Amino acid sequence: MITINDIFEARKRINGYAVQTPLLRVAQLDDILRCKVWIKPECLQRTGSFKLRGALNKLRSLSEEQKRQGVVCASSGNHGQAVAYSANLLGVSAKVVMPVNANPVKLAGVKKYGGEIILCGTVSSQREDKMRELVELEQRISVHPFEDNYVKAGQGTISLEILEANPHINCIVVPIGGGGLISGVATAAKSVKPNVSVVGIEPSGAPRYSLSRAAGKPISLEHVETIADGTKTDKANPHNFPIIEKYVDGLITVDEEPIRDAMKLLLTQVKLFVEPSGALGVAAALSKSMPFTPDDHVCFVLSGGNGDLTLLASVITK
């Protein structure tokens, strides 16, 4: 498992490269979400999502020999953009394995940052198999999107910034895909403030960790279907499952319609375009799945803003 020292070291590595996004008080949502609302808008991060933190920490930890080997990652899009950006910044060759039905905005982002795209399958296990194949064939360094400890430590820097900006935060709400973000965030949060609550939100069409917690072990899903494309992993990661079991207080699933409603709410009331995965926490609060009180100081991590504009149009016009 990663430690708080790993996360402090990650902050040193990415300082000056990643944006320290603001912690924003959003009082206009208090009555709607039934708590004192704070947001951590990682949609304002370079490359448009939190993923840059982990990718930078990993690539900046590589030796010169490893950099010459080049890197490869599997990604639904945001991690791929982050790896491509970081690799371009450091002069490293990067290959990114993406699904054949990739979000076009994220696909364009990887191309823009100079990553070489390889399209493969529709679920995470297929992409990971292809990534491992490229590691073996080309001796590239793998930058796993949610299993790599350097990646998880980079994501954990979010909690350091939240609790330093407002030590009164008593709950942090985090979207869950592969589990790297919540593993880093929960490790840091519980290390700095043991009594803070950390809650993870999954789409009901991909409830990997909720079902794994019920089963007492990591499970795989036969089918994944959700508009929250950043969370389309089809299995609970065995390295992240113990971290989530140790540090995450609650796991909640949310349906598709509240996700759309949350996107629209954030756009109209907060003036932020947040992709479906990033809106999961607000969606759970909207659907009254969160046991908040009006005195709770709750931080919603808005994990990214690289949404498909066609989807956004349908959300707005509904």
**Tens of pLDDT, residues 114-165:** 999 999 988 778 888 999 999 999 999 999 999 999 999 999 999 999 999 9
- What the chain holds in terms of domains, given with CATH numbers, is 4-45+149-317 (3.40.50.1100), 52-142 (3.40.50.1100)
CA torsion angle for 128, 21, 185, 67 (degrees, to 10)?
40
Q: Which two three-digit tokens encode residue 162?
A: 């939240």
Calculate the average pLDDT of the chain: 95
Does residue 206 carry a pLDDT above 90? yes
State the pLDDT at residue 14: 98
Of the listed 36, 40, 75, 76, which one is catalytic? 76
Confidence of residue 202 (pLDDT cuts 50, 70, 90): very high
State the pLDDT at residue 229: 87
State the pLDDT at residue 309: 85
* List of E strands, the chain: 24-25, 36-41, 71-74, 94-98, 116-119, 141-142, 171-175, 197-203, 250-254, 297-302
State the pLDDT at residue 76: 84
State the pLDDT at residue 133: 94
Does residue 232 carry a pLDDT above 90? no
197 assigned to active site: no
d(CA 75, CA 84): 11
For range 8-35, the mean pLDDT: 97
Q: Which two three-digit tokens encode residue 5?
A: 């020292």
- The whole-model pTM stands at 0.94
Of the listed 36, 51, 130, 232, which one is catalytic? 51
76 assigned to active site: yes
